[in-house]
């Protein structure tokens, strides 16, 4: 994902659903994630139909075992950057990768845009 979060500078997923995997620099006891999209005022068309809507987050540990960490809905009527607390946070087992699964968006059938994803947690002690 890019550092420029102005309109059009997103990571597009083909269609109204998709997924992205993010490898973390070290295993992390996850607490939450943030997801960012532009708001309606920043959109040249005045709409944000490409924003993700219903999402799920999965954590993958160093052995490749995947665990559902939470489901949530990005609300286009709220702030552009939204924080989502994961269930059982901080998760007792550290994860080295997360997978953000976008189940639906706000109506754009051609693509879904993700501008920024932030991962929050505590690094494991080595």
CATH number of the domain to which 19 belongs? 2.60.120.260
Please report whether residue 3 resides in a domain: no
Please report whether residue 6 resides in a domain: no
HSE toward the beta carbon, residue 64, CA cutoff 13 A: 0
Count of all residues that appear for the chain in the document? 126
Q: Residues 54, 73: contact at Cβ < 8 Å? A: yes
Per DSSP bridges, beta strands 11-14 and 111-114 are antiparallel
Please report whether residue 4 resides in a domain: no
The pair of three-digit structure tokens given for residue 78, joined into one six-digit string: 């709220």
Q: Structurally, how many domains does the chain consist of?
A: 1
From CA 73, how far away is CA 89, in angstroms rounded?
A: 18
Tens-level pLDDT at each residue, the chain (126 residues): 445 555 656 778 999 999 999 999 999 999 999 999 988 777 777 778 999 999 999 999 888 889 999 999 999 999 999 999 998 777 788 999 999 999 999 999 999 998 889 999 998 875
Containing structural domain, residue 79? 11-123
Please report whether residue 59 resides in a domain: yes
Please report whether residue 46 resides in a domain: yes
């Amino acid at each position: 994902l890019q550092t420029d979060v102005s309109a059009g500078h997103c990571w597009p997923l083909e269609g109204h659903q998709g997924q992205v995997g993010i490898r973390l620099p070290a295993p992390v006891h996850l607490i939450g994630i943030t997801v960012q999209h532009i708001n309606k005022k920043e959109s040249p068309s005045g709409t944000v139909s490409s924003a993700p809507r219903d999402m799920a987050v999965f954590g993958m540990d160093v052995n490749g075992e995947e665990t559902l960490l939470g489901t949530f809905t990005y609300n286009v009527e709220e702030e552009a950057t939204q924080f989502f607390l994961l269930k059982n946070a901080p998760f007792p087992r550290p994860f080295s990768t997360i997978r953000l699964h976008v189940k639906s968006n706000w109506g754009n059938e051609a693509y879904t845009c993700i501008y920024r994803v932030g991962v929050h947690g505590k690094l494991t002690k080595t």
